[in-house]
Structure 1
């Protein structure tokens, strides 16, 4: 999210007012120490030909410029709509699933893991084991037991791409336990309670993201304009290195 640099100054002022006398004294002494050491470093010429100091000064200047830009920035509804329409793919909500699983570890059970999972599937459906009791069965899994409203990429990050592809190939929620599904770690039985299709949300649903994106875009454009204007005040000579 884009943040107005001026807000940091306002917050600092409020924080300073809230300090008691002892806290303010400590803060004052820290500032004095910093200032003394800074001036001594300048006196010793440590700022000369210092690339890190150069980068910090550039960053500070851009930070200040951002504050002025943000203060004068106004976004119209037409601008937000135009950005959203041109970048709809950015705001696409991918398909999501909600499931719990019972896990059978290859490390713990070896070649029998798949057979154990198959036997357990019959038992789970026979007793209609509910979602919240899944943790009472199977082995401990490295990550989570329940996955709520997760997309394929998120599921793949915990179970592997092949597992995720298999789960998202199921086109609707199931009342019964299904599987086994093979992951990088073993076999899993799933109670898949929700399957949501992907969709393009309306602007109002993602308005805050669109505002942030347009704001950052406008700020970058304005920083580039300031740079071009500033560069125009200098005569730039580029000397080729001697061969």
Structure 2
């Protein structure tokens, strides 16, 4: 697959459109000369800038500023602008780790805000619900296996490695009075025996592979769900907000990663290792 084919689906992402639009605005502003020239000795404060200063003050203090306070805001703005231009003129912004981190944080904030504002349609949410019906019903029944780890999670990585090597799961972990396997156990019964948090975590766990650690009232467990039965599939209208919340939390990470990958694909990266 060439780079054009890889970019086509990413360029349909709203977040990518947002970032590209932001870049276009930045370039347009620079072309118009709105980017501050550190060599310039002229500072122009128009009515729009004063209005922004006043609006910011009013939002903070919940009242309009007096004329003396407006004059003070303008003086402070001028002082900040002078220091900014002098710092740029001296090149103090170049190779500055703190500034780089702040700019990165701003870009990540813009990306996250755009994803947060995205609104999924009913088709998207219905697909999500169809993939995770047990998460949105209180009547699900689970067949699962569990390995008890005790109170600390230090054993989790070691036991996962043993499982990956084909180890007998029934001989791993610590002893506990709880059964290692349950068949068609109602979620309410699981909550009573293991704790409500454990039962809720099962609803978000994948089927067919070991996952965890999951916290119960006794400690930590690795869990493998073998089957899930939902007596009645929930309707989207009944659980729409919960489905949208889960969709948003998951796709935020995925879409940020996709948007970053689209930007990364536009760069040539050269790494010289010692």
TM-score normalized by the length of structure 1 = 0.39
| The structure with more radius of gyration | 1
